[in-house]
Amino acid sequence: MGFCLFGNAAIAAKRALDQHGLSRVAVVDFDVHHGNGTQDLLWDEARTLFVGSHQMPLWPGTGDRDETGAHGNVMNLPLSPGTNGAGFRRVWETHGLPALDSLAPELIVISAGFDAHEDDPLAQLALQEVDFAWITEALCDLADTHADGRIVSTLEGGYDLNALAASTAAHVDVLMRRGR
Ligand SMILES: [Zn+2]
């Protein structure tokens, strides 16, 4: 719908399934905007679980809890404007991470958008670098448990360049420290 030419994360998941013989792939999206393209591309794909948190209401307007995919393979975690790191972590600890654990994915693909940062001008969430580091750690834990450590992360949104740089560094620092 304008920001992305290709659904990179969904393409990666499909490639892993169809060309590399995997049977369960998770796609995780913490960009502040709902991953509507990823959701559409994976809606009928029972071998994937797409879990995303995003501000609601916000462009593109999709991503409600009742959008669950054709096979229960989509989990949307909408966050109210003003949600901070504690609220973000609570939603992921309560819903997102347990669902991913239940899937036992053989690969985790991350749509790593950093526009949920408190300084970002396009949205009203209030995450900080430590929160992006936190979810990166949690996803590394899941990948170690189920996927022999396999994670692919692709950069998505981020419109305050200082916040984007610092958040990306926090994310990559964890990935490197955890041996990705
Ligand atoms: Zn975004």
Residue 1 has pLDDT above 80, yes or no: no
Q: What is the pLDDT of residue 4?
A: 83
Exposure class string for 56-84: b at 16+ Cβ within 10 A, else e = bebbeebbeeeeebeeebbbbbbbeeebe
Using the mean position of ligand 1's atoms as its centre, give its distance from the Cα of residue 32 in Å: 5
Say how far apart CA 129 and CA 140 lie, in whole Å: 17
How many distinct structural domains can be found in the chain?
1
CA dist 64 and 161 (Å) reads: 29
Kindly indicate the confidence band of residue 5, based on its pLDDT and cuts at 50, 70 and 90.
confident
Is 5 within the bounds of a domain?
Answer: no
109 Cα–ligand 1 center, Å: 16
**d(CA 137, ligand 1 centre) in Å:** 21
* pLDDT band at residue 180 using 50, 70 and 90 as cut-offs: confident
pLDDT at 16 over 80: yes
> What is the Å distance from ligand 1's center to 59 Cα?
9
- Residue pointed to by tokens 């796609």: 27
* Residue 131 domain-assigned (yes or no): yes
Angle of helix 129-146 versus helix 161-177 axis, rounded to 10: 30
Domain containing 94 equals 10-177
Identify whether 124 is part of a domain: yes
d(CA 135, CA 44): 27
In a domain, 2, yes or no: no
Give me the CATH number covering residue 87.
3.40.800.20
Tokens of 156: 């998505």
Mind listing the pLDDT tens digit for each residue in 41-100? 999 999 999 999 999 999 999 999 999 999 999 999 999 999 999 999 999 999 999 999
Asked if omega into 57 is within 30° of 0 (cis), the reply is: yes
Beta bridge partners of 155: 112
82 CA distance to ligand 1 centroid (A)?
16
Q: How far is the CA of 21 from the centre of ligand 1 (A)?
A: 31
Q: Which pTM does this prediction carry?
A: 0.97
User: CB of 157 within 8 A of CB of 3?
Assistant: yes
Neighbours of 121 (CB within 10 A): 9
User: 127-169: per-residue pLDDT in tens?
Assistant: 999 999 999 999 999 999 999 999 999 999 999 999 999 999 9
Report the mean per-residue pLDDT for the chain. 97
C-alpha angle 17-37-154 in degrees, rounded to nearest 5: 65
